Every structure is written in structure tokens, then in C-alpha cells.
């Protein structure tokens, strides 16, 4: 209700203490408004650095994270024998060949090491790293031989037991890399996928991963090791950080890999990866994000096995522009099945072609 001049004049004047309290309240309110404005401006500024439009609640990297490890000019290695390239050479007249060659085969992507034959693993790793070094490119290698891999599901397999057999496998893999630069993604799903393991088996897996990372650090000193940390739709950041510690990341790792073989949006994986780093409290660690098939984001039900309607994501680069994020990579080789369109790891040209659309 509006109050006229006479009514205001007739009101009793409040005591001096009340007037001071009122002025103090107004001052505090002014300070709170300024703080809120500052917070909004900071959130908008941070969101603007992400590679995709930020969600309403953008994650602000903690001030302790470091700049990306690799120079923005880093060039990753394109293996001429990647699955897409091999298919194109075998089917040059196929109407899909040109698109698959330009959009997939000619792009840098990781090489997966899944064979149980130690001599073959060592030979393959050495050949790949030698070829990349000769071309002054950085190769990306995926060690994927942990026992009880994928909880015996689509990508079941592994090197046998987590003790002697797996250690011999890692030793061979490491000898192949030797004293040459490389980026290693260590055992996708091994830490996110612990539900099928008993307590003793979990302890053995932690020890196997710690041995792998320590061996690479000591015997392949120019390789950087990124433990796989699942993705933003799987384990909470605090849970994943605890598992990473058990596996020795604070002693032997250089960072984490997220979204491997998945479809989540880059912005969500950046936030998740940085959240895991914040839980670990290890500023020297970095994040790499698999962007191979996340161009359309996930399906509404977050299908993980060859879902339709997906697209290629951002091309591999070290120019992320985001503190703490070392690279966007194609860890999953586009066109390889997850286990539904065909057997896991089988190149499906129709699926690859649809990813280019």
C-alpha cells in the first residue's frame, strides 16, 4: 500500500541503533548481490571455453589443473593399416569408399593391442611406434588384455591370469614401445567394470594395473600412460578416483582417458574428467577424451552397443584450449562394431558410412 507524506511524517522515528542496523542490512544485501553477479560472470566465462555449448550448471576446473601437456601443434599418427584404410584398399569401387577414406581412414586413431601372443604384441607395437617416430607423429596405443576383460561380455578375453601371464604381456608390450614417444590408454573398462569380480579378484586387478603403469613408466620413459576412467554416465567421480588410487595412478600414471568407445557429449566428458582429477588432487594429471563417435551425443536411453544415428565427433587434436585436458582422440576406431552390429572389433562398412553422414 502506498504511504503518503503525512503518514510518513507522523510515524515515530526509529532509534539510532535501529537506523544503523537497517543501514548495515542494506550494505550486506548490496555485497551479496555483487557476489552473485561475479559468480554468474565467472560461470559464463568458463562455459565459453568448452568445445560445445555448456549446460546450465557448467563445471569450473579447479585452479590447480595445469595447461594441456601436449603442444597444440602435436600431430597424432595415422596408421595406414587401420581397419577403415584396409577396407578401402580392398573395395576401391564401392560407392562408400571415398567418404570412408576421407572421413575415417585418413584420420589419426588409436591402435588396439588385444592379442595374447606376446611376440606378436611386441612386434606390432615396435612397428607402429617406429613408423610414427619416422614421420614425427605421436602414436596412440591401447593396452586391452586384462584378464576377465569386459566381465566376459561382448569383448571377452584377456591374457589369462592377472599375475604371471598379464605381467609377461605388459612386459612385451612395453618392450615394443621402448624409448620412443607414445600415448598409452591403459585397459578400457577395467576400473569402471568391477561388478563381476570378487574381492580377491579386484585386488588382483588393481595390482595388475599398477604393475602395467609402473613398467611403462620405468621401461618406456617417453610414453605417457592414461588410465581408463569410464565415462560420465557410469561411475561417480569420487568412486572412480578411489579405484584409480588403488591402481596406482598417483604413483605411475600421467592422466585418465574418458568416453572410450562411448557416445557422450564432449562437454559432459570434460566436466566428468576434471571432476575425477579434482577428487584425485593431483594437478600434474591430465584428461584425454574419446571423440570418435560422439558427434550426435548419446541416444535417449544411452545405448552403448552400436546404436543407430550416431556421428563422427571432433577430429583428434591436442589443441583443446582447456586446462587439464590434454587431447581429444579417436580411441575407438570408427566403423568397428561394439558387438551388436557384428562381433566386437569387426569393421562394418555400412556402420562406418552412416557415421560419416
User: How would you class 32 by CB atoms within 10 Å of its CB: exposed for 0-12, middle for 13-18, buried for 19 or more?
Assistant: exposed
Count of residues in the chain = 357
Please tell me the distance from the alpha carbon of residue 349 to that of residue 88, in angstroms, as a whole number.
9
SS3 for the chain, per residue? CCCCHHHHHHCCCCCHHHHHHHHHHHHHHHHHHHHHHHHHHHHHHHHCCCCCCCCCCCCCCCCCCCCCCCCCCCCECCCCCCHHHHHHHHCCCCCCHHHHHHHHHCCCCCEEECCCCHHHHHHHHHHHHHHHHHCCCECEEEECCCCCHHHHCCCCCCCCCCCHHHHHHHHHHHHHHCCCCEEEEECCCCCCCCCCCCHHHHHHHHHHHHHHHHHHHHHCCCEEEEEECCCCCCCCHHHHHHHHHHCCHHHHCCEEEECCCCCCCHHHHHHHHHHHHHHHCCCCCEEEEECCCCCCCCCCCCCCCCCCCCCCCCCCECCCCCCCEEEEECCCCCCECCCCCCCCCCECHHHHHHHCC
Catalytic residue numbers, as ranges: 150, 189, 338
Please tell me the distance from the alpha carbon of residue 264 to that of residue 248, in angstroms, as a whole number.
27
Please tell me the distance from the alpha carbon of residue 157 to that of residue 145, in angstroms, as a whole number.
7
Strand partners, 258: 289
Amino acid at each position: 500500500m502506498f504511504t503518503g507524506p503525512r503518514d510518513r511524517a507522523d510515524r515515530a522515528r526509529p532509534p539510532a541503533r535501529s537506523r544503523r542496523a537497517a543501514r548495515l542490512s542494506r550494505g550486506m544485501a548490496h555485497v551479496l548481490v555483487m557476489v552473485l553477479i561475479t559468480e554468474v560472470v565467472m560461470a559464463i566465462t568458463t562455459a565459453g571455453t568448452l568445445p560445445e555449448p555448456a549446460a546450465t550448471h557448467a563445471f569450473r576446473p579447479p585452479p590447480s589443473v595445469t595447461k594441456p601437456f601436449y603442444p597444440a601443434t602435436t600431430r597424432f599418427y595415422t596408421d595406414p593399416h587401420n581397419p577403415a584404410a584396409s577396407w578401402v584398399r580392398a573395395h576401391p569401387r564401392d560407392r562408400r569408399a571415398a567418404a570412408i577414406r576421407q572421413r575415417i581412414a585418413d584420420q589419426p586413431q588409436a591402435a588396439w593391442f588385444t592379442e595374447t601372443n606376446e611376440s606378436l604384441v611386441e612386434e606390432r607395437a615396435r612397428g607402429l611406434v617406429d613408423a610414427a617416430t619416422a614421420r614425427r607423429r605421436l602414436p596412440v596405443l591401447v593396452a586391452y588384455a586384462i584378464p576377465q576383460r569386459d566381465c566376459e561380455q561382448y569383448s571377452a578375453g584377456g591374457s589369462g591370469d592377472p599375475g604371471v601371464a598379464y605381467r609377461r604381456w605388459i612386459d612385451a608390450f612395453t618392450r615394443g614401445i621402448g624409448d620412443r614417444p607414445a600415448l598409452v590408454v591403459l585397459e578400457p573398462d577395467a576400473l569402471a567394470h568391477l561388478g563381476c569380480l570378487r574381492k580377491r579378484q579386484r585386488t588382483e586387478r588393481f595390482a595388475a594395473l599398477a604393475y602395467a603403469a609402473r613398467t611403462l613408466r620405468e621401461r618406456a620413459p617417453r610414453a605417457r600412460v592414461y588410465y581408463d576412467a569410464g565415462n560420465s554416465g557410469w561411475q561417480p567421480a569420487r568412486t572412480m578416483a578411489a579405484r584409480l588410487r588403488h591402481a596406482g595412478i598417483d604413483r605411475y600414471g600421467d592422466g585418465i582417458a574418458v568416453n572410450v568407445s562411448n557416445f557422450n557429449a564432449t562437454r559432459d566428458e570434460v566436466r566428468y574428467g576434471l571432476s575425477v582429477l579434482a577428487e584425485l588432487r593431483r594437478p600434474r594429471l591430465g584428461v584425454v577424451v574419446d571423440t570418435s563417435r560422439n558427434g550426435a551425443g548419446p541416444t535417449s536411453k544411452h545405448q552403448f552397443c552400436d546404436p543407430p544415428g550416431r556421428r563422427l565427433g571432433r577430429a583428434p587434436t591436442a589443441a583443446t584450449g582447456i586446462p587439464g585436458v590434454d587431447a581429444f582422440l579417436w580411441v575407438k576406431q570408427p566403423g568397428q562394431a561394439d558387438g551388436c552390429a557384428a562381433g566386437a572389433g569387426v569393421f562394418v562398412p555400412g556402420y562406418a558410412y552412416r557415421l560419416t553422414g
